[in-house]
Amino acid sequence: MLIGALVLGSMYFSWSAVAVFLALTAVTLCTGHSVGFHRRLVHRSFKCPKWLERTLVWSGAIVGMGGPLWTIRTHDTRDWAQRQPQCHDFLAHRHGLLKDGWWNLHCRLIFDNPPGFDPGPGIGDDPFYRFLERTWMLHQIPIGLALYLVGGMPWVAWGVFVRVASCTTMHWFISYFAHTHGPQSWLVDNAGVQAHDVPIAAIPTMGESWHNNHHAFPASARHGLYPGQADPGYRFIQLLEVLGLAWDVQTPANLPPRPGITAVSADAVKMLHALKP
């Protein structure tokens, strides 16, 4: 995908192709990666009809980073490791950009004694998710064919190759900074790796870059907790809620009190006071 993006993207540049790239990237990152994969499948931060959940998860698969079961396993392993007093450098992003990028984009960390993994009922035993897990790479083919029929090779180059390469690289890049640099409102007690917010990436990540907030309240569907923190993923969930397609949307205001976190900013202290009964 990266080679295709560099070669075909330059050969078949057009402004309409760039528009297709931007539109598909925004839709799949918001509905799929942020809402379908992360906020629904991993954290169950809201409820929705099964047909909608599967649609959102399919949108997450076509982002091009992995299947749904791999995503949950990777996410849960990383979260488990970062909460330990000591965390491997691979999962803590302790090296420079070049080495960390090579590790995370091209290597795999294998544990001698890995933690248990159970995606839970309705996920690991879901035949559609098992199908997506086996075939997630192939789903770029019908998308590419549809784009070719409408816009030719420029739309394929930018709507598939540039999009997948950009989303995959950006995900690692934001993850690197979200665990190494940036403002913090909360600290998780005894965690070997603390999270940071990456404000400049709030829009392209659909609110996922408010990662310090997310570490403090992982079950919350809302990541942008303070005024001015844009969170398009949460706004999309709110839209689903208005349409009657989402319910039991969890936020810090209706979640049980979270032990084991310490507020370290004025906004966080103010929020804690507001949450107290």
Tens of pLDDT, residues 135-165: 999 999 999 999 999 999 999 999 999 999 9
- pLDDT of 241 > 80? The answer is yes
| Residue, of 274 and 54, whose pLDDT is higher | 54
In this prediction the pTM is 0.93
Q: Which residues have CB under 8 Å from 157's CB, separation 6+?
A: 4, 5, 8, 9, 11, 12, 17
Is the model's pLDDT at 17 over the cut of 90?
yes
Mean pLDDT of the chain: 93
Q: Could you tell me the pLDDT band of residue 277, with boundaries at 50, 70 and 90?
A: low
Q: Is residue 276 pLDDT above 80, yes or no?
A: no
How many angstroms separate the CA atoms of 244 and 49, rounded?
A: 10
Sign of CA dihedral 65, 146, 207, 69: negative
Question: What confidence score (pLDDT) does residue 139 get?
Answer: 96
Higher pLDDT, 156 or 119: 156
- Of 74, 77, 70, nearest to 114 (Cα)? 77
- For residues 208 and 231, give the distance between their C-alpha atoms in angstroms, rounded to a whole number: 8
Task: Summarize pLDDT for 173-220 with one digit per residue, the tens.
Answer: 999 999 999 999 999 998 989 999 999 999 999 999 999 999 999 999
Domain range list for the chain = 2-275
Q: Is the pLDDT of residue 249 over 70?
A: yes
CA–CA dist 228, 207 (Å, integer) = 11
Strand-pair partners of 197? 210
